[in-house]
Amino acid sequence: MLRRDFLYGLSASLGSAAFTAMLADANQDTAGQSHQRQPHFPDAKAKHCIFLYMEGGPSHIDTFDPKPTLNRLHLKKFQRQGEQQSAMSGGTRYYVESPFKFRRVGQAGIPMSQPWQHLPKVADDLCFYRGCQVESVNHPTANYHVNTGNRFGGDPSIGAWVNYGLGSPNKDLPGFIVLPELAYPQGGSANWSNGYLPTSLQGTPLRPKGSPILDIAPPDGVTRQHQRENLDFLQQLNERHASLHPSHEDLKARMMNYELAFRMQMQVPEVLNIDDESEQTLRDYGVGVQPTDNFARRCLLARKLVEKGVRFVQVYASTWDSHDYLAKAHGALIPAVDRPIAALIADLKQRGLLEETLIVWMGEFGRTPDNGVRGGGLAYGRDHNPNAMTIWMAGGGVKAGHVIGATDEIGGEAVECVHHIRDFHVTLLRLLGLDDNRLTYYHAGRFKQLSQFGGQVIDELIA
C-alpha cells in the first residue's frame, strides 16, 4: 500500500468519520459546498449581501460628491498640481463642471444630483464613503481588483470568499448568485470566479432573458424519478473513480454540483417567478415600464433570493463609462437604477430584512474633473480616476445617514479617511462577521486571503 493511500485510509475508521462529520458541520465539507458556519464575530448584523455593481465607473462628481469649484473652472485648461493629475493623459485638457444641479436630501442632508428622484426617500438609510482609492484605470483589471482583490484575475471573488466563510442557509440554492446584464462585464465571468477555492463556491449567473438557467427543466418524457436513478448510477461511478484519486477535490465538487442542480429544479422556478408579487410592489420597483424594467426585475429577484437564504447576490448595471456626452449618458443611467434601488431598500426595511442585509453600491473607479475632448459644446465627459470615487452602503450595521471621507475641491483625489480598496474589502467582510486574517485558504504554498496580504477595518463606516 502506498503511504498516501494508507493516510487517506485512516479516515475510514468510525472515530475519524465521526470527527470529520463534526468538522463538516462546523466548517465545510471537503468539496467546498459549505453548510452554515459560525461567523468570526457573532455580533455582526449582516447575514447577506446584495452588491449593486455599476460597471464602467460612475462619476462621483455627478452623483453624490458635488464640486462647485468646477463651475468656476468650467472649460478652462486643466492645470496639473503636484500629484493631482488626470488618470488619462495626452493632449489639451479642460475642467468640466457637472451638468446636474445638486440638493441636500433626508434629515442628514446628503448631497445628491438632480437625476436621483427616488433614492432621496431612503437617504437616511445610506452611508456614503468618499475616501476609497484603487490602482487600475483599465476596465477589466479594475473590475478584477474590486471583485477579487487582484488586478490580474484568477483569484476568488468576494462572493466566493463570503460563501466560503459563512456557508449557505439554503442547501437547495447556490450561496452566491450573479444577476448580470445581457452582456457580461469587462473581464467576463472571472469577476465572480471561485479562483483557487473549491468550484462549488463560484457565482452562479442567471440569464436576464429567456430561461434564467439553461436546461433547468428536464426534457420531455424524463421524470424526476428517471433523473434520480441516473444521478445515483453516476454517483456510484464517480465514487469508484474518486476512491482511486482521493486527493482530487474537483470530482467531489462536481458530484455535489450535480446534486445541487437536481434540487434547484424544484426551487429555482418558484424563486424566479415574480408573478406572485403584488401590483404595488411591481410598481414600486418599476417592473413593466421603461427605463427601469430590466434592473427592477433583478433588484426584486435579489430580494427574493435573500429571503430564501442566498448569502451573496451581485447585480450588474452597465455601462457607466461616460467619456463624452456626460449629461445624456448619466442622465439616462441614473433613472434606470434609481427607482429599483430605492424600492429594494424600502422593501427590505418593510420586511425586517434591511438590518441583516448589507447593500453595497459602487463601480470600479471614479471619474476625473477634467477631460481631453473639445473645449466647448455639450460633448464633454470624464475619464477614469482611480484616486477618487463614491461608494455607498445600506443596512447590515453601517453608519446610516453619514458621509465619511472627502475628496479635494475638484474631486480629483481622496483627501480624508483615505483607504485602499483592500481596506474596504476587509471592512465588508467585518460587517458580515468575518475576519480577513482568519478567512484564509492554503494554496500554492501559502495561506491566501481576499486582501492579498492583510488590511485595516475602516471603523468610521461601522455603526
- pLDDT (0 to 100) of residue 243: 77
81 within domain boundaries: yes
Q: Are strands 48-54 and 357-362 parallel, antiparallel or unpaired?
A: parallel
Containing structural domain, residue 45: 31-210+284-461
What lies within 8 Å, CB to CB, of 82 at 6+ separation is none
The one-digit pLDDT tens for each residue of the chain (463 residues) are 455 554 444 444 434 333 333 333 444 444 444 568 899 999 999 999 999 999 999 999 999 999 999 999 998 888 765 434 444 445 678 899 999 999 999 999 999 999 999 999 999 999 999 999 999 999 999 999 999 999 998 999 999 999 999 998 888 788 999 999 988 999 999 999 999 998 889 999 987 766 566 455 666 766 766 666 776 777 777 777 777 777 666 666 666 665 555 555 556 666 778 888 999 999 999 999 999 999 999 999 999 999 999 999 999 998 999 998 999 999 999 999 999 999 999 999 999 999 999 999 999 999 999 986 554 556 789 999 999 999 999 999 999 999 999 999 999 999 999 999 999 999 999 999 999 999 999 999 999 999 999 999 999 999 9
Residues 392/127, Cβ–Cβ less than 8 Å: yes
Residues 86/349, Cβ–Cβ less than 8 Å: no
- pLDDT (0 to 100) of residue 256: 64
CATH number assigned to the domain comprising residue 439:
3.40.720.10
327 within domain boundaries: yes
Q: In the numeric block, which cell numbers belong to residue 272?
A: 424566479
21 within domain boundaries: no
- pLDDT (0 to 100) of residue 16: 38
The structural domain count of the chain equals 1
- pLDDT (0 to 100) of residue 85: 44
The C-alpha atoms of residue 301 and residue 304 are separated, in whole angstroms, by: 5
236 within domain boundaries: no
272 within domain boundaries: no
CA atoms within 13 A on the CB side of 192: 27
436 within domain boundaries: yes
231 within domain boundaries: no
18 within domain boundaries: no
